[in-house]
Every structure is written in structure tokens, then in C-alpha cells.
Amino acid sequence: MSPRSDTPSSPSIDESRRGLDLGSDRRFLAALILLGGTYVSLLLAMVAADLFYTTPGHLWHALGSPEIRYAIRLSLLSCTLTTLLSLWVAVPIGYLMARFEFPGRAFLDALLDIPIVLPPLVIGLSLLILFQTAPLRALETVFPVTYAVPSVILAQFMVACAFAVRTLRTTFAQINPRQEQVAMTLGCNRAQAFWRVVLPAARPGILTAATLAWARALGEFGPILVFSGATRMKTEVLPTTVFLELSVGRLEAAVAVSLLMMGSAVVALLLVRTWSGTGLAGVSSLRNG
């Protein structure tokens, strides 16, 4: 009689199971790479197509155009002002939404997301209708807004501010409120605790929100086209420059301006990644403290 084995399974069975698991994992990862790689390949192909379509000469020629230089200056000015206005509004809204419960909070939360989910053209149309009301028509007799430079800033602000609010709400929610409470027990009122404790801790998040707002404002097109128009040397920013160059058949100039915007977007995204990582590290240190 052969002796009975007490082992639940032989080594060969265990090895075969591990082999099956390894093969299944490889097929699963291959499927993920195939699906995700299709989209990544399309993005790379789009960028490569733009790079190989134009030449440095086209780029320098575009930069030498007075219209495009004006669009660059107006884009830099309007995006910077939009970013400052967005932070001025987003910091208090983000702090209130992260720290306090109040009636209508859920409604306000949904309202703040409207510029993110609505089509951009609808934002521009809504602004145009708003400035057709009697009080704002009277205002425009003194201070023109529609189809002027202020309308560019306002159209950018309505969309960019929503992204800044969402970023800063998350930032303030991640900061441990205990730090603020300790400051108030040591003699600070809430305003002093906010300025001395919360705001310095939220600095990386504020920089991230500013970068996102600036980048979003730079790429805004739909609201500007409807509310500001696309007038050369007046309300022309970089996205409308691409539209105008395409409309007259200057595809090389349109691609050159698109590459300028693409480069700006890449720099902005790299800054967001850097500051976001710093912000998470700062939040972790606050929690550990």
C-alpha cells in the first residue's frame, strides 16, 4: 500500500495555477494597454500632425502679424485679469463650501457647476441676453461691455471661475480644521485664523486654481465668439485668431497659433502637476501635525 499524502495539492498543481493566473493578468493588462493606448496614440498623432504641418518660418511669420501680436497681448492681459478675479471670488466660496453647512448648500453646489457642464455657447448667449436687460443697457451707455474688451474678460471669468471654485473647495476641505480651531483657542478670531493659518496652508491649492483658471481662460472660445464677437484688433484673442485665420483659408497661420496655445497649455499643466503634488504634501504634514 502506498502512504497517504496529507498535502492539499501537489507542487505541480500550484505551479500550473500560478501560470494560469500570470497568463490571465498579462491578457488583462494587454487589453487595458490596447484600449488606453488607442486614445494616447490619437493624441500624439494630432500633435505630430500639427508639428509636421507647419514650419518655424510659418510660426515667425504668424508672430510678425500685427493682428496676431494684438491677440497675444489681449489674451495675456485678459487671462491674467480673469485669473485674479476668479481667485478673488473662488477663495471665499471654496472656504464657505468646505467649512460650513447652511440652507441651500446643495443648490449652490449644483449652481456653481453650471458653467462646467453647460455648452460654452450657451454661456455666451446667456451673457448677451443678460446685457440686453434695461439696467445693463443703461450701464453700457456709460461703460460699454458687449462686443468690447470687458466682455472678453467677463466671458472668460464665467467659465474659469467655476474651475477655480472647485479646486479651492477641495483644497480647503483637505486642510485639517483642527489647525484653525487651535488658532482660535489661542486668541485668534475666525478671520485671523483664516489669514494666518488656513490661507498659507492653502497656498499650493491657490496656485493650482490660478493656473487652471488661466489655462481655461486662454482656451475659451464659444462665449467670447457670441458675447464679444471676433473683431480684428478689438476683441481678438488667440482662439478667435485660429477661427479667423481658418475662415480666410490661412491654415498655416491657424496651426502656428494653435501650437502656441498648445505649448502654453503644456506649461500650465506641468505647473498644476507640480503645485498639486506640493499641496498634497502640505496637507499631509498638516494632518500629521
Per-residue model confidence as pLDDT tens digits over 97-113: 998 888 988 999 999 99
C-beta separation of 67 from 232 below 8 A: yes
Distance of CA 286 to the CA centre of its chain: 26
Is the pLDDT score of 127 beyond 90?
Answer: yes
Per-residue pLDDT tens over the stretch 224-239: 999 999 888 899 999 9
pLDDT band at residue 240 using 50, 70 and 90 as cut-offs: very high
Q: Other CB atoms closer than 10 Å to residue 242's CB: what's the count?
A: 20
Q: In the chain, which ranges are continuous DSSP H helix?
A: 11-53, 56-63, 66-99, 105-112, 114-117, 120-130, 134-142, 149-174, 177-185, 190-193, 199-201, 203-218, 222-227, 238-247, 251-288
pLDDT band at residue 13 using 50, 70 and 90 as cut-offs: low
Is the pLDDT score of 184 beyond 90?
Answer: no
CA atoms within 13 A on the CB side of 235: 24
Round to whole Å and give the CA distance between 94 and 13: 58
Fold observed for domain 56-288: MetI-like fold (1.10.3720)
C-beta separation of 159 from 82 below 8 A: no
Q: Is 53 helix (H, G, I), strand (E, B) or coil?
A: helix
Q: What is the pTM (predicted TM-score) of this model? A: 0.80
pLDDT band at residue 248 using 50, 70 and 90 as cut-offs: confident
**Residues in CB range of 175: below 8 A, 6 or more apart:** 198, 201, 202, 283, 286
At residue 21, the pLDDT reads 61
Name the nearest CA neighbour of 238 among 79, 126, 57. Answer: 79
